[in-house]
Amino acid sequence: MISMAVHRNLLRLRGFCMTPTERVLFHPFMVNGSVASCLRERGESQPPLDWPIRKRIALGAARGLSYLHDHCDPKIIHRDVKAANILLDEEFEAVVGDFGLAKLMDYKDTHVTTSVRRTIGHIAPEYLSTGRASEKTDVFGYGVMLLELINGRSAFDLARLANDDDFMLFDWVKGLLKEKKLETLVDANLHGYYVDEEVEQLMQVALLCTQTSPMERPKMSDVVRMLEGDGLAERWKAWQKKEMFRQEVNHTPTTQILIASLPIQLPISDPLNCPVQDDPSMALLLAHNI
């Protein structure tokens, strides 16, 4: 499976060796370690990843994952996309590695069902609850990795910083981005040497990738295009409209939602006294909202 994937941003398989007790794979040595080690395990003499390098890593990792999803037949789902599995070569080019959990997926399928063996904190909610992995599972992991790349902290540390759990972390990030508090979102080790607009764009991509619904997440090929400057503004604007609608619905009493949805006038004092038996769709609406 690994030998099928040949791309600049994927870890190449150079060879393998099998003995009665061992199975060994041979890969090129990545002299600069991983994104995780460069962000959180670097020595005092090692400079932090600068902003241009972080942007290049984001794009390179996206290109590698896009190749797995769209140019391999059958497509390959990585299933463990995280900062520790994005390796860096001598030029700090991103190389997606560790295919130990990868699964082959027929193009006519929408998902594969497996046991959950990923790193907690990077797991997409639908994978955690059902064990069903898809290319959108990788997109979620990429979005979390992107947040770590921008901020420097692990997903766990970011959740603690947000004083909440993993899933509410994204609401915290949304709030800071809306208020343009970039100094809280960006790695302090950069000492302000970054471009505000580029930070906002990468954060927008990360939030689009970590949406709860897998259907609403972009494909990795779309992520590549957005990072290259094509289509992000339009997609972000559409996402903002959806967010505004969700917030309005969440702050609207159920009775008001029902009345607004029904095609007939009802007295507010008795919103459920209506002939739903004549319209199954109305019965479904009421059942969903009660």
Question: Which residues, at least 6 apart from 125, have a Cβ–Cβ distance to it below 8 Å?
Answer: 140, 167, 212
Question: What was the pLDDT predicted at 45?
Answer: 83
173 strand-pairing partners: none
Question: What was the pLDDT predicted at 285?
Answer: 35
Do 36 and 158 lie in a common domain? yes
C-alpha distance across the termini of the chain, in Å: 49
Do 11 and 79 lie in a common domain? yes
> Is 185 within 8 Å of 177 (Cβ atoms)?
yes
Do 115 and 11 lie in a common domain? yes
Q: Percent helix, strand and coil across the chain, each rounded to 5?
A: 50, 10, 40
Do 240 and 269 lie in a common domain? no
Instruction: Say how far apart CA 43 and CA 195 lie, in whole Å.
Output: 26
Q: How do residues 49-69 score in pLDDT, each as one tens digit?
A: 999 999 999 999 999 999 999
Do 88 and 109 lie in a common domain? yes
Exactly one of 80, 98, 166, 187 is catalytic; name it.
Answer: 80
- Amino acid (1-letter code) at residue 22: E
Do 284 and 236 lie in a common domain? no
* Residue-by-residue pLDDT tens, the chain, 290 positions: 566 678 999 988 777 788 888 888 777 889 999 999 999 998 888 899 999 999 999 999 999 999 999 998 888 899 899 999 999 999 999 999 987 556 654 444 444 444 444 445 678 888 888 888 899 999 999 999 999 999 999 988 887 776 655 456 788 898 899 999 999 999 999 999 999 999 999 999 999 999 999 999 999 999 999 999 999 999 999 999 988 887 777 765 544 434 344 444 444 444 444 444 444 443 333 333 33
Instruction: Say how far apart CA 278 and CA 50 lie, in whole Å.
Output: 64
Residue 108, domain CATH: 1.10.510.10
Question: What was the pLDDT predicted at 104?
Answer: 54
> Does the annotation mark 279 as catalytic?
no
pTM: 0.78
Full domain range(s) for residue 283: 254-289
DSSP H helices in 152-265: 155-161, 169-178, 182-185, 196-209, 220-227, 232-250, 254-261
Question: Which residues, at least 6 apart from 100, have a Cβ–Cβ distance to it below 8 Å?
Answer: 80
Look at the chain and report how many structural domains it folds into. 2
Chain-centroid distance of CA 92 in Å reads: 22
Do 244 and 265 lie in a common domain? no
Do 240 and 272 lie in a common domain? no
Question: What was the pLDDT predicted at 164?
Answer: 53
Question: What was the pLDDT predicted at 255?
Answer: 44
Instruction: Say how far apart CA 284 and CA 269 lie, in whole Å.
Output: 21
Question: Which residues, at least 6 apart from 144, have a Cβ–Cβ distance to it below 8 Å?
Answer: 82, 121, 122, 155, 206, 210
Q: Residue 89: what are its φ and ψ, rounded to 5°?
A: -80, -170
Do 64 and 136 lie in a common domain? yes
Instruction: Say how far apart CA 140 and CA 228 lie, in whole Å.
Output: 19
Do 17 and 124 lie in a common domain? yes
Question: What was the pLDDT predicted at 171?
Answer: 84
Do 123 and 264 lie in a common domain? no
Q: How do residues 147-163 score in pLDDT, each as one tens digit?
A: 999 999 998 888 777 66
- The token duo for 92 is 């700090």
Mean pLDDT of the chain: 80
Do 209 and 264 lie in a common domain? no
